[in-house]
Amino acid sequence: MVMGLTLREGVLSRMPAEAGSVAEADCVLRAGWASFGAPVIFGLLGASMDASLLSAPLVAGSFVVIVCGLAGRAVACWLCVRSHGWSAAEQLFGVVTWCPKATVQAALSSVALDYVAEHLAGLPEYGAEMERAEALLTCAVLSIMVTAPLFAAVI
């Protein structure tokens, strides 16, 4: 509630858009994401990762998965845009902008860990599944650490 009032009084009062416009909603959502959403989601993600689980094979395997995923996305995007008459520079820009920049990875990275904790607790396979879920979370965090700054700078 306080954030909403702050946005309304601080941001919207300086905006020349008419009330209820798309520009007004866009401004509110951008300000809310920048001041609250992104810090919370990335902070919680960082807090949920156990750095003691990092091992050379896990990090190497994660980088292989990240590179294969990026290559697959690049090829898929290029195949989609090549028949639309775009120039080579436009096709390259499409490929780069379709690369991940961390928001989806951050939002979905702990789903496996949460599922295992909620549904498999007390079962014999809990330990093995928890290790797999933590490896998936680690891979997602490494993906964020590699792709977010790289593609944000490239774009």
pLDDT of residue 10: 55
Per-residue three-class SS string for 34-80: HHHHHHHHHHHHHHHCCHHHCCHHHHHHHHHHHHHHHHHHHHHHHHH
Contacts of 141 (CB under 8 A, 6+ apart): 45, 46, 49, 109
Residue-level pLDDT at 75: 93
Tokens 């990335």 — which residue?
42
Query: By CB neighbour count within 10 A (0-12 exposed, 13-18 middle, 19+ buried), where does 66 fall?
Result: buried
- Amino acid 113 reads L
> Is the pLDDT confidence value at 138 over 80?
yes
List pLDDT tens digits, range 58-78: 889 989 998 998 899 899 989
Q: What is the pLDDT of residue 2?
A: 44
> What is the residue extent of each domain of the chain?
1-48, 51-154
Residue with tokens 């979370």: 137
- Contact (CB, 8 A) for 99 and 70: yes
Long-range contacts formed by 32-39: CB under 8 A, 24+ apart: 32/3, 32/7, 35/3, 36/3, 38/103
